[in-house]
């Protein structure tokens, strides 16, 4: 009998997770199937109970359930607990154990693209939401010491810095302050929804002070090249979109479930083809 995996969220029909996971199961000759599960917030408790009763082998979690699912799990990984969000659950002998592969997925995708020692890069994270939290905590946990946070609401950025339990050198900035000091940063990471389709002409900050040898990463992958990345390229910077983060967070979930790291290049091709372009 095929094992059952899936992803829960609201909305969920747009998710490309079934495309990459079902292909990986087939490629690795694993008898399993991965489904969408549309779960509204008021049905989350019953959904998790039902998945446990049905013996679902594992599942991913997306908006808006990444935080609210935590009290419903039997155990949560240390990093996921620090971040305060879970995006991957494995069923181990009837116990649901939660992990967060978003931050480490981003970090691994970054390692594939960026040149030089990431840990020595002076880094600026734009945004202070859930994605920023996962990326920020993971970066400093991995040894990137100097990571500043810029956000429209300064207080939210300051709270994010104070919440981080790992050793770091960080400060909170307004967007205006970040724009003025942008030439100080080697790595800029954009984590907000600004520039996401259909609002493709939006950008979270001005790049007037961006230095030409900077690296700019935007976790958005629809469109594949946001206005921010386009402008960064015009200034000579290297850029990265969000496809790599999406692929790696899924690949790491697959590894948690099966013990096998799938072919991330193949996953990238699947996502790229579905989005109608290359990933550059």
Quick one: pLDDT band at residue 277, thresholds 50, 70, 90?
low
Q: What is the pLDDT of residue 280?
A: 41
Q: What is the pLDDT of residue 247?
A: 98
> Is 66 annotated as catalytic?
yes
Preceding amide of 90 cis, omega within 30: no
Quick one: pLDDT band at residue 279, thresholds 50, 70, 90?
very low
Q: What is the pLDDT of residue 124?
A: 98
Quick one: pLDDT band at residue 223, thresholds 50, 70, 90?
very high
User: Between 275 and 61, where is the model more confident?
Assistant: 61
Quick one: pLDDT band at residue 276, thresholds 50, 70, 90?
confident
Q: What is the pLDDT of residue 275?
A: 87
66, 108, 121, 141: the active-site residue: 66
Chain-wide mean pLDDT for the chain? Answer: 96
Binding positions for NADP(+): 78, 127-131, 219, 242
- Provide mean pLDDT across the span 44-50: 98
Binding positions for shikimate: 15-17, 62, 87, 102, 221, 249
């Amino acid at each position: 009998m095929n094992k059952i995996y899936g992803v829960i969220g609201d909305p969920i029909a747009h998710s490309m997770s079934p495309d990459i996971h079902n292909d990986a199961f087939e490629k690795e000759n694993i008898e399993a199937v991965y489904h969408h599960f549309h779960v509204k917030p008021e049905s989350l408790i019953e959904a998790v109970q039902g998945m446990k009763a049905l013996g679902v082998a594992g599942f991913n979690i997306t908006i808006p359930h990444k935080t609210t699912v935590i009290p419903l799990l039997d155990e949560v990984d240390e990093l996921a607990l620090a971040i305060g969000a879970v995006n991957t659950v494995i069923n181990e002998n009837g116990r649901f154990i939660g992990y967060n592969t978003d931050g480490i997925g981003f970090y691994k995708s970054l390692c594939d693209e960026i040149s030089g020692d990431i840990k020595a890069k002076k880094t600026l994270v734009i945004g202070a939401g859930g994605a920023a939290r996962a990326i920020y905590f993971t970066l400093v946990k991995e040894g990137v010491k100097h990571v500043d946070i810029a956000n429209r609401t300064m207080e939210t950025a300051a709270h994010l810095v104070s919440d981080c339990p790992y050793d770091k050198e960080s400060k909170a900035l307004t967007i205006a302050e970040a724009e003025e000091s942008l030439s100080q940063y080697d790595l800029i990471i954009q984590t907000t929804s600004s520039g996401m389709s259909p609002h493709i002409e939006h950008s979270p900050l001005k790049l007037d002070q961006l230095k030409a040898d900077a690296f700019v990463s935007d976790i958005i992958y629809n469109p594949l090249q946001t206005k921010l990345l386009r402008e960064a390229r015009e200034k000579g910077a290297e850029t990265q979109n969000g496809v790599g983060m999406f692929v790696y967070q899924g690949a790491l979930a697959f590894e948690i479930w099966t013990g096998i790291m799938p072919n991330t290049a193949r996953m990238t091709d699947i996502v790229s083809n579905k989005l109608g372009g290359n990933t550059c």
